[in-house]
Amino acid sequence: MKRLFILLMPLMLAACATFDNNEYSRMVDMRYGLSAQHCDDPRTARIMANQTLIITDWLHIYSRYLPNNTNTRNMLETYRIGVKDFVDRYESATSPSAAFCRLRVKNLHDQLDIMLDTTARRPR
């Protein structure tokens, strides 16, 4: 799934609308807020996961109302699946391991790096 997401991301964004500062800023916020250093404490990891979901939901709602932005919405829906799973793991009775958290953060970082790179290439 991750590989398919990575391969399709540039194609999805190629036909997107022009550069939007708000979208890009929120993607940077998500990237900055995800830190593997928070993975050692399950409470802070849970907070980090929830904050990432909140920003992802905000960005999804915002992008829904921009014209010619279907590809970004689709990309965010795919990204949200990974974030939601991250949150759900911390909502369960037993918190996941720090190793799981670090791997998930790395996965989300990789996806966000691609999103940021391709979004920055949009015409301004």
Give 109's pLDDT tier (boundaries 50, 70, 90): very high
Give 12's pLDDT tier (boundaries 50, 70, 90): low
Distance (Å, whole) CA 51 – CA 87: 9
pLDDT, tens digit, 9 for 90 and up, residues 52-105: 999 999 999 998 888 887 778 888 999 999 999 999 999 988 889 999 999 999
- How many residues in the chain? 124
Cα dihedral sign, 57-30-5-93: negative
Of all residues in the chain, the percent with pLDDT exceeding 90 is 50
Domain boundaries, the chain: 2-120
In CATH, what class is 2-120?
mainly alpha
